[in-house]
Structure 1
């Protein structure tokens, strides 16, 4: 069952909730804005649905609400930061802004962050870079939740990857996990008592399944592109670990809970090339070419990455957001407890 919530109501409730759990007014407002914005974009799995998970992490002492990330090393336009187990969202916003700042000074900026926590919807930070007219490449490692191709036990993270490209007619933002379905999305299907539309991982008997609950239990998601997704997951983990000098998926898997992940924030300033009109022309050519096809469904069309996310936001701002009654009740109970 779902109910409709307006963005202002959600933002106000979440601001009060985060304040109740000890965040400063500024941080509480920022956390509320991020979770609300993610839900507006239709990504409930990494917006409103993640709030009870976030509060549980606070209660377990996995998140230090009083600390933010700090720069520990600098190598020209490359920096290493330590998240000090602070809020993943707060740390991510700080490091995204820093990468943008370096890129606008040098053409390119990279911030490698270690010892941080879940950043919720990865695409949020890609949108941040695109809104500053910058190209972004961002990724994180996670606890083990996928088997390497050819193996049975989970040894890889589903390591979300974001690539964002600014565009006048609507920013292009790719936001994808290395698993066929993100684990947050599978939780959403489970919450709605729905099966996955395609196989999403393996059950306890080692068979591919569309049952999200079984995959969440085994922590054995199906890599995108099979062996190709498996390889891509591995190299993203290696890069995040080496560049940040942080924890790998292997090290994260030694703990009972996921915390202290490693992340990369790479920002490129396309204005460095002084050919913005050409860049826009080339981008529009590519999008127009992909649209000029016979649709597979009646009245169907192709979409560029991020297009449907923006459509969702416009619709939800006007009509309100559909959220799980169960999740909303948990949040209200946490606020009133």
Structure 2
């Protein structure tokens, strides 16, 4: 069954989400911030971590998984490295707070790292890559998750798809890599399920332990396929170890003991490239790399190559011009929840 969609403007989405969050007693500032983050993610074409996540976010609020009034607090300081506790507050608010702090530390010391524990899903990690890049910083950000992939050679899920973000500021458009360590994030798998479409590549295992492109089958037991097979499996484990050790927080193993994903651990590392005093050279080198990768004959005539984040920028421009395509059932649910 094909997905039914409607077109929603950026302003309409921002206002509707803000209205909903105010109903659930967020402060005006926090309601605006969360609504803006979800709206921008959807503008960039990442509905799976933007507007599509709102009903689940509200469900978590109603279950008390997310503490509406909580604020992330600094626990320990080690020079340009800090540990923070998210106190189970909004993952978006905590992520914005910790990105800002990592940027402050980087501008003071050249490099800054904030390790955060006891937080919730940050939604689209690329939001904070863009935030750091807008502030003139390179960023390396990652989070652990609930177990949703088998370690390579295993049958049951024991590792997370641990989203990984790298951003580099650039005048002509920031470079932003935002990827899960699974071939498809489970939000993206749900997008395909909503559209009634198969995945374009294998995305996980079905009940018969066979690799599948069927989002319904993969979602049953959440057994995603690691990128690069055994290499992605190893990368997931390493990112979980780093997030856990640096934050002194929960590992994927400990997160698995909760029925719902919460209390996750994250790392926000920022570098301030202006300390090198060669900004013009940096821009020249970036453009050389981009031009070199753009200037390649495509396998198929209708295709072309992109740098990380380029297609998202194109999608944002299209959505600003034409309106954002949203699943009508999800939008109807948001309207209903707002009343």
In structure 1, what is the Cα distance between the partners aligned to 2:296 and 2:16? 45
Which residue in 2 is equivalent to 1:242? Answer: 245
Which residue in 1 is equivalent to 2:112? Answer: 109
Q: Secondary structure at the match of 2:154?
A: coil
Which residue in 2 is equivalent to 1:62? Answer: 65
Which residue in 1 is equivalent to 2:295? Answer: 292
1:223 to 218, 222, 226: 226
Q: Secondary structure at the match of 2:298?
A: coil
In structure 1, what is the Cα distance between the partners aligned to 2:261 and 2:299? 40
In structure 2, what is the Cα distance between the partners aligned to 1:329 and 1:133? 39
Matched, 1:25 2:33: no
In structure 2, what is the Cα distance between the partners aligned to 1:5 and 1:297? 33
Per-residue deviation, residues 161-192 of structure 1 (Å, max 9, x unmatched): 00001111110000000000000000111111
Matched, 1:141 2:175: no
TM-score by length of 1: 0.99
What are the ranges of 5 or more consecutive residues in structure 1 without an aligned counterpart? none
In structure 2, what is the Cα distance between the partners aligned to 1:254 and 1:13? 35
Which residue in 2 is equivalent to 1:332? Answer: 335
TM-score by length of 2: 0.98
Which residue in 2 is equivalent to 1:200? Answer: 203
Matched, 1:36 2:39: yes
Quote the offset at 1:70 in angstroms: 0.4
Q: Secondary structure at the match of 2:113?
A: strand
Matched, 1:11 2:14: yes
Which residue in 2 is equivalent to 1:182? Answer: 185
In structure 1, what is the Cα distance between the partners aligned to 2:200 and 2:311? 18
Quote the offset at 1:299 in angstroms: 3.3
**Counterpart mapping for 1:68-107 below 5 A:** 68-107=71-110
Quote the offset at 1:291 in angstroms: 1.2
Which residue in 2 is equivalent to 1:150? Answer: 153
Q: Secondary structure at the match of 2:158?
A: strand
Name the Cα RMSD after superposition.
Answer: 0.6
Per-residue deviation, residues 213-259 of structure 1 (Å, max 9, x unmatched): 11111110000000000000000000000000000000001110000
In structure 2, what is the Cα distance between the partners aligned to 1:261 and 1:250? 11
Which residue in 1 is equivalent to 2:279? Answer: 276
Matched, 1:212 2:215: yes
Per-residue deviation, residues 288-313 of structure 1 (Å, max 9, x unmatched): 11112111222321000000111111
In structure 1, what is the Cα distance between the partners aligned to 2:99 and 2:8? 29
In structure 2, what is the Cα distance between the partners aligned to 1:34 and 1:291? 30
In structure 1, what is the Cα distance between the partners aligned to 2:208 and 2:98? 42
Q: How many residues align?
A: 336
Question: Runs (4+) of structure 1 moved beyond 2 Å?
Answer: none
What are the ranges of 5 or more consecutive residues in structure 2 without an aligned counterpart? none
In structure 2, what is the Cα distance between the partners aligned to 1:39 and 1:113? 25
